[in-house]
Amino acid sequence: MNGNEETKSKIIIGVVLAIVVLVVVVLLCLKGCVKEYTVSFDSAGGSAVSSIKVKENESITEPTEPTRDGYIFGGWYYNEELFDFDTKIKENLTLSAKWNKEEDGKLVLENTSLELKVDGNGEIKILSYPENLTLEDLIFTSSDESIVKVSNDGKLIAYKDGNATITIKSKDGKYEEKVVVTVTKKIEEEKKEENTKPSNNGEGSSTTKPSTSSKPKEVAVTSVTISGGSSVNVGGTLQLSANVSPSNATDKSVTWSIVSGSDKATIDQKGKLTAKASGKVTVKVTSKNGKTATKEITISSVYKVVLIPECSEMPGVPPLRYQFFVYRDGKIFKDYVQFIYNGVEATPRSYTIPSKNVSSSVKSVKISLSNETVNATVTYQANNNC
């Protein structure tokens, strides 16, 4: 190799090295330009939860629930509102744990006394009750049903003037509250009785026999139906309503129950169904006089794909691939066939996707199962272990 060729080779090598150094410097600069925030967790007396670092406009995965003796975890809150873990992080945050005491608390009523008119209606309103109770666990009784009658969901019907005490008690006897109901006559009845009182106008006296008020005639329920949606996702709620006929029925109170699939959902006495697991459940509503109706509800699973970048061996160099994890109803799910992410086939055999194919614009994918195809949301999470 002559001198000129050797000089040219040195120049080429120098240019290549300069380009490599420039690329590394640019990448390091770009990494430094990406803002990073910290999400901290105040467990409020519970077990410690580590903070999470996250890049700007990325969301985080909800951490493992903390524990606290004698309490039930009620979720993570920010500014007194339940935090949505799909929120894009744009600042440092501190989330606070909410706790509810186990086997503690009491029934809190809106009123401890009520006034009704004869033939009038009212309601015992419960503002809150212990976490370990539902409305189905409460028993309503009246000390005198000839004065006021109460249904099993707190609805009142007044029959005649007088006082009666309504007792609200849990089936296990641990919780009890009382409401005193005072029933008075209607204004028309009071006037009528006033007009029938004995009078003396100086020309003799006349006495009119006072009228007697009879118990209002009850109108029986002839049928009930259920209205509302017929599908809900796991973890969601569905509000159902009971339609009672005729519309002027005296006692429209009903009870709600699940006659099939009670391991998949619960329902309170206001018709609110809470879905716990996928499948089908049959809901039943029953009027006080035994009229019934049923409705089948389909509960669907919720799928989510979480992408996490693999750690790079060189600082500032982007990862070559992203790991992905499939969740069903909040738990890792491996029993799927495949899904297509931005043109790349993803299967349980690979569990990674090339970085060049990862795009934050991909918000959802369709996942193929053994017998159906389902929708899944896509979220992107920082790798805090790098």
Q: What's the pLDDT at 195?
A: 62
Three-state DSSP state, 5: helix
**Mean pLDDT, range 338-365, rounded to an integer:** 90
Q: What's the pLDDT at 202?
A: 47
CA distances from 3 to 9, 10, 12, 262, 336 (A): 10, 11, 14, 89, 65
**Mean pLDDT, range 257-265, rounded to an integer:** 91
| Confidence band of 143 (pLDDT split at 50, 70, 90) | very high
Q: How far is CA 330 from the centre of its chain?
A: 15
Residues 146 and 30: their CA atoms lie apart, in Å, by 80
Residues 12 and 20: their CA atoms lie apart, in Å, by 12
Q: Nearest-CA neighbor of 302 among 54, 134, 55, 86?
A: 86
The pLDDT tens digits for 22-43 are 777 666 655 556 789 999 999 9
Q: At residue 214, does pLDDT exceed 70? A: no
CA distances from 354 to 60, 303, 361 (A): 21, 22, 16
Residues 138 and 112: their CA atoms lie apart, in Å, by 17
Q: What's the pLDDT at 32?
A: 56
Give the residue with greater pLDDT, 68 vs 386: 68
**Mean pLDDT, range 228-249, rounded to an integer:** 89
Q: To the nearest whole number, what is the mean pLDDT of the chain?
A: 84
Name beta bridge partners: 278: none
**Mean pLDDT, range 99-109, rounded to an integer:** 64
Helices (H), the chain: 3-33, 187-195
DSSP letter, residue 374:
E
Asked which of 28-37, 45-54, 183-192, 195-204 is least confident by mean pLDDT, the reply is 195-204
The model's pTM is: 0.45
| Confidence band of 4 (pLDDT split at 50, 70, 90) | low
Give me the phi and psi of 66, to 5 degrees please.
-75, 170
The pLDDT tens digits for 265-292 are 999 999 999 999 999 999 999 998 889 9
